Amino acid sequence: MTPKAIPSKDRLIFAMDVSDCGRARALAKEFGDAVTFYKIGLELMMSGEYFELLDWLLQRDKKVFCDLKFFDIPATVGSSVRQLKDRGASFVTVHGNQSIMEAAAANKGDTLKVLGVTVLTSLDRGDLDDLGFDCDVGELVLSRARRALESGCDGVISSGLEVPKLREFVDDKLLVVTPGIRPVDNKPMADQKRVVTVETAFSNGADYIVVGRPIRDASSPRAAAEAMQGSIARHFEAL
């Protein structure tokens, strides 16, 4: 599969998982040009300054992924995506069945891309049993990817472990964004069970990776981001 024409630096999405927008702005200032793409999610939404932060990042020529995992009746999800579509965000996530994804895709406009969540990287086989899913993780990821494609979504969120089979199934028809990236120092990630390294994620066919704590909690977050950007650039230069 030929890699999509995505600028190398944009392939790293930093997960801005902090509790307030002041801390988020401070991190963005520290990163400077080392990070060009930011994910802002529910924790920052609850801070009360979500859209101010979104606008602040856009004013600095950053790309923004609104990781809100919309999950409600289709009409509500469709209306929510329609409200977001002109705010300048690049991606938004939807977590639901086919009719929910269809409603999101029908209201996304020309620039906002809708990503369907397949299976959260915090879940494993035992968790799926608890939720009542009588199939393995890989089968569920492929089923949800198929529904995302049929619904008109632009891409999916998928662990790097399932990306090879997903690519066999959808080829390059969907963007694949991969969270659950294992830190370079291999420290355990308590709330991430299905993880891969940076190199494995891209070798398996991911278009973007989402990384939070391995960069944020490093002694120098900027240096950690720059090191990861270097790994990504070398990977694609070698292709």
Domain of 77, in residue numbers: 9-237
54 in a structural domain? yes
pLDDT of residue 102: 97
Q: Which of 69, 85, 165, 193 is catalytic?
A: 69
38 in a structural domain? yes
Q: Is 4 a catalytic residue?
A: no
* Structural contact between residues 190 and 163, judged by C-beta atoms closer than 8 angstroms: no
Q: Please list the rounded mean pLDDT of every run of 10 residues in the chain (239 residues).
A: 84 96 97 98 95 98 97 97 98 93 97 87 51 62 88 92 86 90 55 70 94 94 96 92
220 in a structural domain? yes
1 in a structural domain? no
pLDDT of residue 4: 81
Compute the half-sphere exposure of residue 98: CA atoms within 13 Å on the CB side of its CA. 8
4 in a structural domain? no
3 in a structural domain? no
Helices 163-170 and 137-151 sit at what angle, rounded to 10 degrees?
A: 40
* Structural contact between residues 1 and 169, judged by C-beta atoms closer than 8 angstroms: no
**Which residue, 229, 233, 217, is CA-closest to 185?**
217
2 in a structural domain? no
The predicted model scores a pTM of: 0.90
Contacts of 70 (CB under 8 A, 6+ apart): 77, 80, 81, 92, 93, 94, 95, 96, 100, 104
pLDDT of residue 151: 96
What CATH code is carried by the domain that includes residue 113? 3.20.20.70
Q: Domain tally for the chain?
A: 1
